[in-house]
Chains A and B, each alone.
Chain A
């Protein structure tokens, strides 16, 4: 099983600040990694797929980067609606087992 380790667990920032979230995989994923945003009481929402592609409707302030085992999600300037929990996710090809990282909570400082 591929393990995804996210850091930090919690990020306390103010609106307007830059957020940098990390996801490290136990095996190389090439670029097959996605990021999701989850707000309280809501389901996760796809933000970034294939490591660096923004999903439909995702603002340009969200940038994904990385390949292999190290990936980063950057929020260039935090907006109030960006606070929540962010998860990375990968899926193996065969069998198509899926794992998620433990999440990074971005909270208002």
Chain B
């Protein structure tokens, strides 16, 4: 099982960035997927989740309207479109799989990708 994030980098405040996560080693379309970010100041913070069939999508309240999670079950890819980026969005963003395949979201996460660093700075 492998999750490999890409797309991170340096972006100016107000800019946009799209993160990708390539999944392999499991049946991607059977699992709900998530994005979690980590900063030194705020620790681990759940960002968004998407069900395996894309029927259900949820975001952290603080991010609604700026971030969009999506997936491509043919290409085995998870995405996070980030708009109107702020300095406080600077973080390592992890692609994370639900621990078990289910129609509803599992209570824990396993495994995690290695993360991609997003830096928002002028």
Residues of chain A having any CB pair with chain B under 8 Å: 32, 34, 42-46, 49-50, 55, 87, 89-91, 93, 95-103
Q: What's the dominant secondary structure at chain B's contact region? A: strand
Q: Which 9 A-B residue pairings sit nearest by Cβ, starting from the closest?
A: A98-B46, A34-B108, A43-B112, A96-B105, A100-B44, A46-B110, A49-B108, A32-B107, A91-B107
Chain B residue with minimal CB distance to A53?
B108
Q: Is the CB of B58 within 8 A of A96?
A: yes
Residues of chain B having any CB pair with chain A under 8 Å: 34, 36, 43-46, 49, 58, 60, 94, 99, 104-115
Supply 16 further A-B pairs (C-beta < 8 A) apart from A42-B114, A91-B108, A96-B104: A32-B107, A43-B112, A43-B115, A44-B94, A44-B112, A45-B111, A46-B108, A49-B99, A89-B108, A89-B109, A90-B107, A97-B58, A97-B60, A98-B36, A99-B46, A100-B44
Q: If the complex has contacts A32-B107, A103-B43, are A95 and B112 also in contact, measured as CB distance less than 8 A? A: no
Q: Is the CB of A97 within 8 A of B46?
A: yes
Cβ contacts A to B, 5 pairs, < 8 Å: A32-B107, A44-B94, A96-B58, A98-B46, A98-B49
Closest approach, in angstroms, between the C-beta of A76 and any C-beta of chain B? 22
Chain A residue with minimal CB distance to B109?
A46
Q: What's the dominant secondary structure at chain A's contact region? A: loop
Chain B residue with minimal CB distance to A87?
B44
- CB contacts (< 8 Å) of A96 on chain B: these are 49, 58, 104-105
Closest approach, in angstroms, between the C-beta of B50 and any C-beta of chain A? 11
Q: Is the CB of A46 within 8 A of B99?
A: yes
Q: Is the CB of B111 within 8 A of A46?
A: yes
Q: Is the CB of A100 within 8 A of B58?
A: no
- CB contacts (< 8 Å) of A89 on chain B: these are 44, 108-109
Chain B residue with minimal CB distance to A48?
B108
Closest approach, in angstroms, between the C-beta of B30 and any C-beta of chain A? 17
CA distance A42 to B115 in the complex (A): 8
CA distance A72 to B45 in the complex (A): 21
